[in-house]
Structures are given as structure tokens and as C-alpha cells.
Chains A and B, each alone.
With several copies, the nearest count.
Chain A
């Protein structure tokens, strides 16, 4: 088959579908930012976006933005405030959904964006948590968005920047987390969700043209497959048009380079 969309476009569309109307969305950078904009301009017009910089807005910015700090994202906002105000909404449990990227993830959705190879003498130092740890701890649910590769989907992550379900069911309660946990993982190969009993990741849909074997091959543990496995819906023409409006230069979604 010939695809008329890029992988980032597919992921943005999948991310957007996770947002319900009227929800409060903690908007991150890159693809999740586009996913929020797409949702807000399609099925979730009443979604409210909160940004860790200190921004709350419930309308589209008057011009496309490259990052949440661009000035058009401040124009017409309904609140410009302190980071602590925004993070407090999160800590109080008023944020319905958020999105996080990662360099490594394990079967329980624990994410590493800090150190590859152990923090004492790391092979690679990554940028770190930013707000990701807070989103993973405090949003009602969060969605992980990342490239599906064996070196990233690991039996055990080198460092837990953003907690998922720890070592399985009951772990979040035990360590004191008040709520939440990852709800889905949107990857370049498909979509995974978490078994409500075991908290383990389960493949629920694959991208058009990708086999279950391919996904398993790129996963660092014996991957569970949902009995009702489906195909990840391709973005519609309307969705693609909207994504191009928000990313007119294709910086984020024009190719696969910025995943």
C-alpha cells in the first residue's frame, strides 16, 4: 500500500484521539502539542490547554506555533501565570490527560529521559525530566509517545525519570502516588495499552502495513498481544489538512527526523 502520511502525522492523529471534549490537557512540546491543536480543532473544541510555562488557553493561537513559548501562544490566553500555578492544577488532580515522550520505556510504562547506561557514568546524558515526571505522577492519565525500537523498549529502563506502574499492580499506591498512570503508548508501529489487572503493556493496534511480528521484534520483552488486535486508524484527509495548518513547514511532521 502507499501511505499518504508520515509517521509523525499518524502519531499526532492517534494522540489527538486520546483527548475527549471538555478535558483539561497538559500540553507538552513537539508531537503532543500538535495532537492537542488537532483535537481542539476537531472533536474536542472545549478542551482547555495548560502549559507548564504558565499559560492556560482554550482557543487556537492566531498563528501556527513551533513551540509553546512562541508569542502567538500567549495572545488571547485565558491565564498567564506562574509555573507553580499550572503545576498545582496538576498536583490537585485537575488535569485529565497529558503526553510524554521517552528514550526508554519498560513493560510497566516506566520512562527514562535522563541517563542511558546508569547515572554514575552514563553513556548518554539526555535532557532530563522537565515536567514529565510530574505529569507521570499527577495527571489523571498520561499517554506515552515514542519511536518503537528494541533499544528503547527495554526489559528494564536504566533510570526511572517518569514513573509508570513501577513493578506492576499496586506499586503506585505503595510509593504514595495519588492517582494516574500511563493509559496508552503511541509508537511508530502501533498503539499499546495497559492490562488493568497486571498493569503490563499490551499491543492493541498496529500501523497499516506492519505485522505483529515486527512489533514484537522491536520490543525488548515478550510482548503481550490483545485478542482483539486492530489496525491503528490512518489519519483522515481532514486531519492531515489540519496538521499541515499547524505545522506548515513540516518541521515536526514533514519527515521522521524529529521523533
Chain B
């Protein structure tokens, strides 16, 4: 029989995210951001990581603040509803962080190239912009058919993709729904995939609807049970976005000391992701839970 890939968050991160690894996260943009996994990287004091992702919405800022990051390859690093990411700003302005500037499209196409197994993708974006000056993975080429000037975007091939899903089986088959961002491309482009899942379910729930599988189990290296593992970002079917947490983080992270306080409160106490809902507290859990349930109409995979 197939063997289970279910491990603890601590084991997944310690085995698959060595110092110096390149990690793609926050692939669904504002939703399903794997905060639990990122916080475990902070607890394990990872060093010299390269972070890859479209916008990250404060997760990258937290890893930068904790000193885990050497380089970021991203389109945007900030706090969606408040603006600046302060650790990120301090690090770049202090010359302590390498930056490769993408747009959302160049990043998506770079991961698509990695997923498809080609060394680059041609695009019509970014021409005339200064992204070419702060991203060595962009060059201009001429189309062999039309003569158009195009942007060639070098493939991104992360060491590991960390993806939060709603439900997964122990073999690594996971369901995701909602807006998908660059999740599929990131999984296929990466050497390893870690799934953190709100729920671990019977395999038949997953293989009973194979169109919702984001990446086949044989491409996944580890599955972790991490309820509320994407908080404060939203998880369709599970919980709403915790806007207040993003505002609180902005306020705390304005100073280095404030960030340390935030970290002491939200990252350090946890040794096992299963206790996160306790840390969050019953009231907040209740406030963020779905109030209106809208189940999809089933489809038939019979024969």
C-alpha cells in the first residue's frame, strides 16, 4: 500500500526547508497564506532563505524581521490593507536584503516556465520599465514569428512550495477552492511541496473529486495538519480574513521592539500548530468563522 506522508509541522519544516533554501509561499495571494509554516521557520531560526511569492501580505515581512531571509523575489511586499511592510523596508533600506523585482505577471510566468519545464517564457509586459534593472531574470528578445519585442522571463525553480489547502489526504492529494493565484504553477515548479491542511480527510473525499486536487500526491513530500494555519488570511470554506490582526501587526511592526513583542506573542509560544486555535482564543475563532454556508452542488464521477 501507499505510505502516509503525514508529519508534524516541525518535522516538515526541519526536513524540507534547510538554511539557504528557496521557498515559494503565499501563492493564492491574499488567501490561504501558510502563516503556520512560516512561523515554524522563524521558531527553527532558518537562515539565508530566498522567499518567492506574488504579494505575501505580511508573511515575508515577518520572516525578514526574524532574520531568516537573504533574498526576496516578489512583485509586492507589504500589508494589503495598511500599506508598507516595516521590517522589509528597514532591511532593504539598510542594505540587508537582496531584492528581485517582479510584477504579478512576470512572477506568474516565471513559475509557469518552471512548471512547464522550459527555461523561460515570453511576455508583453514590463517593457520600458525599470524592473529590468532590478531583476536579472528579465531580458528583451525578438519574436521569431512576428518580430515583436518581447520580455523573456527566466524560469523560477523553488526548492520547496509551501501551500495551505482546505483538505488533504495523508498521501498528499489536497483540495483547494477559491481564488487560486499561482498555486498550481508554484507546486509544479518546485522540487518539493509541503501541504498544510485545515483538515485531514479520508482519501475518498479527495479522489472522489479529482478536479479540485491542486497537485497530485506523488509530487508532494509532506502533509501537515494545521487548523487555522493560514490565519489571519482567509480560507474559503473555513474562516474569514482577520483584518484587525493585519492592523495590529502594522502598529506593532513599526519598530524593531514592537515586532519582537508581536513575535513573542504570536510565534514563540507555539510548539505545535494544533494549539494555534487555543492561542487565537474562542471568541476570535467564533468571530471569524463563516456565518453563511453555501455548499456547492455535487457533480457525479460515476460510470
Check A-B contact in the complex, CB < 8 A. yes
List the B side residues contacting A229 at CB < 8 Å: none
Contact B129 A162 (CB under 8 A): yes
Residue tally, chain B, CB below 8 Å to A = 87
Q: A24: which B residues are within 8 A, CB to CB?
A: 218
Q: Are A53 and B85 in contact (CB under 8 A)?
A: no
A6 within 8 A of B: no
Q: Which residues of A contact B128 (CB under 8 A)?
A: 137, 160, 163, 166, 171-172, 175-177
1/0 per residue, CB under 8 A from B, across A76-108: the answer is 111111111101111111100000000000000
Query: When the two chains form their complex, are residues A88 and B188 in contact, meaning their CB atoms are under 8 A apart?
Result: yes
Partner of B241, one of A66, A77, A87: A66
Chain B min CB distance to A65 (Å): 9
Task: Determine if B292 is an interface residue (Cβ-Cβ < 8 Å).
Answer: yes
B124 with A138: CB separation less than 8 A = yes
Q: List 7 A-B contacts (CB under 8 A).
A: A51-B179, A69-B179, A75-B294, A78-B173, A83-B29, A130-B76, A130-B103
- Which residues of B from 61 to 89 have beta carbons under 8 Å from A? 74-78, 80-81, 83-85, 88-89
B210–A71 contact, CB under 8 A? no
A48 to B149, CA, bound (A): 30
Q: Give the residue of A63, A81, A89, A121 whose beta carbon is less than 8 angstroms from that of B180.
A: A81
Interface residue range, chain A: 35 or more
Interface mask (A24-51 → B, CB under 8 Å = 1, otherwise 0): 1000010000000000000000101001
Task: Give min CB distance, B77 to chain A, whole Å.
Answer: 6
A82 touches B236 (CB 8 A): no
Top 9 closest pairs, chain A to chain B, by CB: A69-B30, A176-B149, A92-B117, A127-B78, A91-B117, A175-B128, A54-B179, A130-B76, A71-B303
**B55 in the interface (beta carbon within 8 A):** yes
Is A217's CB within 8 Å of the partner chain B?
A: no
| A233, CB-defined interface residue at 8 Å | no
Q: Give B residues with C-beta under 8 Å from A.
A: 2, 28-31, 54-55, 74-78, 80-81, 83-85, 88-89, 92-93, 95, 99, 101-106, 108-109, 112, 115-118, 123-131, 133-134, 140, 148-150, 171, 173, 177-185, 188, 204, 206-208, 210-211, 213, 215-219, 233-234, 236, 240-241, 243, 290, 292, 294, 301-303
Residues in A whose Cβ lies below 8 Å from that of B124: 91, 137-138, 176-178
Docked-complex contact A58 and B218, CB < 8 angstroms:
yes
The answer to whether A125 and B89 touch across the interface, beta carbons within 8 angstroms, is yes
